[in-house]
Chains A and B, each alone.
Chain A
Amino acid sequence: GESVGLHLPTLSVQEGDNSIINCAYSNSASDYFIWYKQESGKGPQFIIDIRSNMDKRQGQRVTVLLNKTVKHLSLQIAATQPGDSAVYFCAESPRSNDYKLSFGAGTTVTVRA
């Protein structure tokens, strides 16, 4: 079936380095993509989103890249900080589908001091 998944379940990053979290999707009808951060004991928190008519979008210290040809999504975090340690989820949605999101299983990012 069609699903959203992340390449790696865990990622360890040195403080100050850049982090790259990858996500593959298979639903060719998806036209909205979003990244969430979830800290322990809390609900998912919005980081950044991108629509299918864009290839790249930047936020504060974060960049999302979308490659529709290979159905790949990535989140780049610049100058990773200890507060970036969390689980990161990608999700996708065909906007015609009542905005329903399909989530990947998540990548746990650990920042080393």
Chain B
Amino acid sequence: DAGITQSPRHKVTETGTPVTLRCHQTENHRYMYWYRQDPGHGLRLIHYSYGVKDTDKGEVSDGYSVSRSKTEDFLLTLESATSSQTSVYFCAIQLPWGEQYFGPGTRLTVT
């Protein structure tokens, strides 16, 4: 099984504070993705990475930034959290045979 962890699993933060979520994979998969999941919207792509230091925007990238300094780690940062960013965040890796494999998720609440 592909190994993927997310940290923290739960976080409550205040409006205006910076927040960083971490995604860690135990294998050297090139592509990594950050999604958010909200009721009625399915999963929407925030940002993705196609290699170390190579990232690009998804459909809902405003208010988010990402970094990938090592193959195994993909960080998602909310520079100044807003209540609209309360969501469940999922990281995924692209497996060679086609599917994306998802992590367990991070539930973020912005008060």
CA distance A42 to B104 in the complex (A): 5
Binds B, one of A11-19, A66-74, A77-85, A96-104: A96-104
A44 near B94 with CB under 8 A, answer: no
Known A43-B90, A89-B43, A105-B40: A100·B48 in contact at CB below 8 Å: yes
Cβ-defined partner of A43 (8 Å) among B58, B98, B99, B104 = B104
A112 to B43, CA, bound (A): 27
How many positions in chain B have a CB within 8 Å of any CB in the partner chain? 22
In chain B between 49 and 92, which residues have their CB closer than 8 angstroms to a CB of chain A? 50, 56, 58, 90
Residue of B nearest to A3 (CB): B42
Interface string of B27-61 (1 = CB under 8 A from A): 00001010000001111110010100000101000
Name the A residues within 8 Å of B40 (CB-CB). Answer: 105
* B105 pairs with A43, CB closer than 8 A: yes
Residue of B nearest to A104 (CB): B42
Out of A34, A89, A100, which one reaches B42, CB within 8 Å? A89
A100 to B90, CA, bound (A): 14
28 A-B contact pairs sorted by A residue (CB < 8 Å): A41-B105, A42-B105, A43-B90, A43-B103, A43-B104, A44-B43, A44-B102, A45-B102, A46-B99, A46-B101, A49-B98, A49-B99, A89-B42, A89-B43, A98-B31, A99-B31, A99-B94, A100-B33, A100-B48, A100-B58, A101-B43, A101-B45, A101-B100, A103-B42, A103-B43, A104-B42, A105-B41, A105-B42
Instruction: Spell out B's residues near A (CB within 8 Å).
Output: 31, 33, 40-45, 48, 50, 56, 58, 90, 94, 98-105
